[in-house]
Structure 1
Amino acid sequence: MADLSRIKEHAEVIGADGVHVGTVDHVEGNRIKLTRRDSGEGSHKGHHPYIPGGLVADIEDGTVRLSANAAVAVSFEEEGD
């Protein structure tokens, strides 16, 4: 797993396929909390989605790159407040 302490607020999170997954609000433990505007639709709308830190492959030039494609990564999203 990448060093999550290197992840900065407002960094873009992209899947292994280069597709935008979200924008970092901040890191909580071993999870990346994304901004609410990345919360999707339906029951997830308006809640902060979280991405497990284990999906982070690399942090380069302020961008968080995941080891999974965007469509797969969002299936691992957890819901927060």
Structure 2
Amino acid sequence: MSNAEGIKEHMEVVGADGVHVGTVDRVEGERIKLTKKDSGEGSHKGHHHYIPLALVAEVEGDRVRLAANGDVAVSFEEEETAKPI
């Protein structure tokens, strides 16, 4: 089973420790795009962040559980890269 199977819009993303990491906007390629509302503070606020699908341990009910604890998973978040003009 692919890590993307079963991941749907608005599912909660939690770390292995159950800590909220974000909310799924959609899957794009090999990453989960998180909603802007979970984008953090300061310069991180107001734009999308991404979690690599490789961190997904399982999809259970309406949650995506990651293989890393929440504080560690956040350190793997990626920001959207600029699109070429």
Aligned to 1:37: 37
Higher helix residue share: 1
Aligned to 1:64: 64
Bigger radius of gyration among the two: 2
1:12 maps to 2:8 = no
Aligned to 2:75: 75
Note closer, same or farther for the CA distance 1:2–1:73 as it changes in structure 2 (3 Å cut): farther
When normalised by structure 2's length, the TM-score is 0.89
Deviation digits for residues 40-67 of structure 1 (CA, Å, limit 9, x no counterpart): 0121110101001000000011210000
Residue 59 of structure 1 aligns with an amino acid whose one-letter code is: V
Matched residues, number? 81
Contact 1:2-1:59 within 8 A present in 2 as well = no
Aligned to 1:52: 52
* Secondary structure in 1 matching 2:32: strand
Query: What is the alpha-carbon root mean square deviation over aligned residues?
Result: 1.5
- Which consecutive residues of structure 2, in runs of 5 or more, have no partner in the other structure? none
When normalised by structure 1's length, the TM-score is 0.93
- Which consecutive residues of structure 1, in runs of 5 or more, have no partner in the other structure? none
Note closer, same or farther for the CA distance 1:39–1:12 as it changes in structure 2 (3 Å cut): same
Contact 1:49-1:77 within 8 A present in 2 as well = yes
Residue 31 of structure 1 aligns with an amino acid whose one-letter code is: R
* Secondary structure in 2 matching 1:13: strand
Runs of 4+ off more than 6 Å:
none
Distance 1:80 1:32 in 2: 11
